[in-house]
């Protein structure tokens, strides 16, 4: 685990959109300004690391849950379906193949189809 600055509130610990009140704590880091991310992590391509949903109105990114970073384990390759953008071609929702991460894990073992 590593501690990174909360992307959603930019480390300020308060709700960036003043949804509830000016003093509302950030829902992502609960006011701490930092979030824990399991390593290895990469920048969330779906929200460009901002933690804010690119098409939503004032909501957290559903791929990284507002952290701006996503955990990717093992060897990965660029997702062919979204070409690494993390976005489904037409729906603008997170790509189903890579779940919005833009990369997919390469399977180590070779599957045998009979
Ligand atoms: Zn925060
Ligand atoms: Zn994100
Ligand atoms: Zn994809």
Return d(Cα 89, Cα 50) in angstroms, integer.
21
Return d(Cα 27, Cα 74) in angstroms, integer.
30
Q: Give the ligand with the smallest distance to the CA of 68.
A: 2
Residues with CB under 5 A from ligand 3 (ion): 79, 81-82, 95, 97-98
Quick one: how far is CA 67 from the chain centroid? 6
Residues 12-57 have pLDDT tens digits of 999 988 766 767 999 999 999 999 999 999 999 999 999 999 987 7
Q: pTM for this structure?
A: 0.85
């Amino acid at each position: 685990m590593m501690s990174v600055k909360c992307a959603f509130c930019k480390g300020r610990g308060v709700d960036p959109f003043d949804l509830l009140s000016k003093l509302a704590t950030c829902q992502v880091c609960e006011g701490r300004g930092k979030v824990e991310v399991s390593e290895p992590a990469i920048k969330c391509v779906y929200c460009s690391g901002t933690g804010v949903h690119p098409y939503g109105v004032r909501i957290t990114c559903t791929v990284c849950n507002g952290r701006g970073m996503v955990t990717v384990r093992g060897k990965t390759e660029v997702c062919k379906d979204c070409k690494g953008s993390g976005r489904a071609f037409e729906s603008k929702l997170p790509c189903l193949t890579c779940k919005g991460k833009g990369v997919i894990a390469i399977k180590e073992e070779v599957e045998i189809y009979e």
